[in-house]
């Protein structure tokens, strides 16, 4: 499956897609980004049930700022529209496969319960 090009206009609609969505935030001048790109592209072909997208932080500076991207590459994972992973740093194919497995294994009811608990205002 092709890696989608994510823009500020398409980010919300792509991350809200059903299932799992991985986003690679990168730039052309970044050597680790160039090293991770083939790993990300191979995974997009290996896992056709997952959506893969990329944000070129040079072209999408406003989106990168909104996402709080301070180091690249930054890999983000969404599941059922919920951000479940966001960390900078390239990784090898085995580590990325393990991350994919970990995102698949998440108990989303538990994730949503934790998020709801975090959003509950503290008692006054």
Q: Taken in order 52, 3, 42, 64, is the CA torsion positive or negative?
A: negative
CB 50 within 8 A of CB 20: yes
How many beta carbons lie within 10 A of that of residue 80, not counting itself?
Answer: 15
Catalytic annotation on 25? no
Point out the catalytic residue in the list 3, 33, 63, 77: 33
Catalytic annotation on 30? yes
Point out the catalytic residue in the list 30, 50, 69, 77: 30
How many beta carbons lie within 10 A of that of residue 46, not counting itself?
Answer: 13
Task: Tell me which residues are annotated as active site.
Answer: 30, 33
């Amino acid at each position: 499956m092709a890696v989608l090009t994510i823009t500020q206009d398409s980010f919300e609609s792509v991350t809200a897609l059903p299932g799992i969505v991985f986003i690679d935030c990168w730039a052309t001048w970044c050597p680790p980004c160039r090293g991770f790109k083939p790993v990300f592209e191979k995974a997009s072909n290996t896992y056709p049930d997952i959506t893969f997208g990329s944000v070129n932080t040079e072209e999408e500076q406003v989106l990168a700022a909104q996402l709080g991207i301070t180091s690249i590459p930054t890999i983000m994972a969404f599941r059922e529209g919920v951000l479940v992973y966001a960390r900078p740093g390239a990784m090898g194919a085995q580590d990325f496969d393990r991350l994919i497995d970990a995102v698949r294994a998440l108990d989303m009811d538990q994730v949503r319960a934790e998020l709801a608990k975090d959003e509950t205002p503290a008692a006054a």
